[in-house]
Amino acid sequence: MQKIKVEKEVSKGRKNVIILLLGTLIAIGPFSIDTYLPAFKQIASDFKVDTSAIGITLTTYFIGIGLGQLAYGPLMDRYGRRRPLIAGLTLYIVTSVLCGLAWDLNSLAFFRFFMALGGCAGMVASKAVVRDYFDKDKVADVLSTLMLIMGVAPIIAPTVGSWLINSFHWEVVFYSLAAFATIMLVSVFYILPESAQPDPDTSLKPTKVFKEYASIYRNKDFFLFSTARGFAIGALLAYVASAPFIFIEFYGMEEDMFGYIFGGNAAGLILGSQINRLFLRRYTTFQITYAIGALMAILTTGILGYSIFFEAHFWVVYPGLFIMLFFIGFQNPNVTALSLQPFNLQAGSASALVGSVSMIFGSAASWLMAELLVDDLIPLLATVAVCAVCGFAAILVYRMRYAQGYAFAKAYSRHPYQVKHREVSKQ
């Protein structure tokens, strides 16, 4: 597939508009999750089920995202980025309306699955377009910018959702998401240019698609860094799925306060992603990833140990979760960039696979929370601690396999795509 180097062909202002649009497309994901979290009790009351049962609509959504990204990868390599993106947004709009019309829990879970299939088109396209537009040493920085834009969603979404369900009813949340996606669809038509020429040689036969994904996954860099990203997303989505239980049921907060508490914690994602951009000017992508991975493992195991031997006090758990999200704000753009670095012609499929791997981890984590969270926070704290430790283990394996010494000089001399490898090799 021939890439179109838009970076050299458009003005800086136009590139900024494109980045803003890409970040907003990614934000469809967290908006689709966080906006309806405050409505769990209201939905449960209407459908006459327990509040915890509504968690199945999160699980089906995560499964839809995971499977959908695998489909969009080869589609975006074969037909370019825009056409599958437009089709996905259209599907999202239709199924969002159907979610608002759902008549029971099963129908809502079913429509949420297809809503995810449509919404994940923006997630795949955004990462692939960034990989198309920008040089390899700028990808992590641009992805951090997207994290800034995307990070606004989990801050304001629960507050918006609380206002909608209090002023109207929970169905309006999904109608509002359909309206938001309609604006995105119009913006894609008029703002986003095609970044990669369609490649008719890309096969859509299931066996060939599977073989292509298998070849990508066998790449050692991709395998290790996508695994590290998967565990980071697993920790994040375990927290997201547990948030209504943590703050409303366990700590007894009002639904109106939930939006502020949840949004305040989500600000850690933005803060981490933007400080990461500053660190990238001085350190390599991998150096930051390694250090943050170690710190997150220490933090989460420390909170778990404290909560086991003492009380899971709010002022221990809440700041701890904030710092965890702060670290994930570092890790997400960095491990994504490191996962995609080895690929050029397969950028669309690699972008889809890295997202799908993450959603597999996230689906498992959210399902565990729905099954295990009953009357205390230990299952959540144990899950995020295991995710953090395992994610750091994948990063550590990369260091031991490719690097000698803490400066990682040989790793970066062997892999010229790494950020600032020349500067590191001189240290």
Domains in the chain, ordered, with CATH? 6-426 (1.20.1250.20)
Per-residue b or e along 158-173, where b marks 16 or more CB atoms closer than 10 Å to that residue's CB? bbbbbebbeeeebbbb
Strand partners, 196: 3
Phi-psi group of 313: left, alpha or beta (phi > 0 → left; psi -120 to 50 → alpha; rest → beta) = beta
pLDDT at 109: 93
Is 95 within 8 Å of 119 (Cβ atoms)? no
Q: What is the pTM of this model?
A: 0.73
pLDDT at 348: 66
Residues in Cβ contact with 22 at an 8 Å cutoff, skipping those fewer than 6 apart: 125, 126, 129, 130, 146, 192
Strand partners, 3: 196
The whole-angstrom separation of Cα 212 and Cα 216 is: 6
What number of other Cβ atoms are within 10 A of residue 419's Cβ?
A: 25
> What are the tens digits of pLDDT across the range 96-140?
999 999 999 999 999 999 999 998 888 888 877 887 777 666 776
Per the listing, tokens 């309306």 go with: 97
pLDDT at 13: 62
The whole-angstrom separation of Cα 128 and Cα 99 is: 29
- Which of 205, 207, 209, 230 is closest to 346 using CA atoms? 209
Instruction: Give the lowest-confidence range in 2-11, 18-27, 93-102, 398-407.
Output: 2-11
pLDDT at 407: 41
361, pLDDT greater than 60: yes
pLDDT at 10: 52
Six token digits for residue 322: 């904030």
- Which of 186, 181, 199 is closest to 75 using CA atoms? 199
Is 359 within 8 Å of 62 (Cβ atoms)? yes
- Count of all residues that appear for the chain in the document: 427
What number of other Cβ atoms are within 10 A of residue 105's Cβ?
A: 18
Instruction: Give the lowest-confidence range in 54-58, 143-147, 212-216, 269-273.
Output: 143-147
pLDDT at 263: 77
Per the listing, tokens 């079913």 go with: 110
Six token digits for residue 317: 């758990």
What is the pLDDT averaged over residues 205-222? 87
Q: DSSP class of residue 196? A: B
* Confidence label for 249 from pLDDT (cuts 50, 70 and 90): confident
Residue-averaged pLDDT of the chain = 82
Instruction: Give the lowest-confidence range in 17-31, 165-179, 279-293, 308-322.
Output: 17-31
The whole-angstrom separation of Cα 372 and Cα 349 is: 34
Q: DSSP class of residue 174? A: H
> What are the tens digits of pLDDT across the range 307-327?
999 888 899 999 999 999 999
- Which of 262, 244, 253, 265 is closest to 55 using CA atoms? 244
Strand partners, 174: none
> What are the tens digits of pLDDT across the range 21-34?
888 888 887 788 87
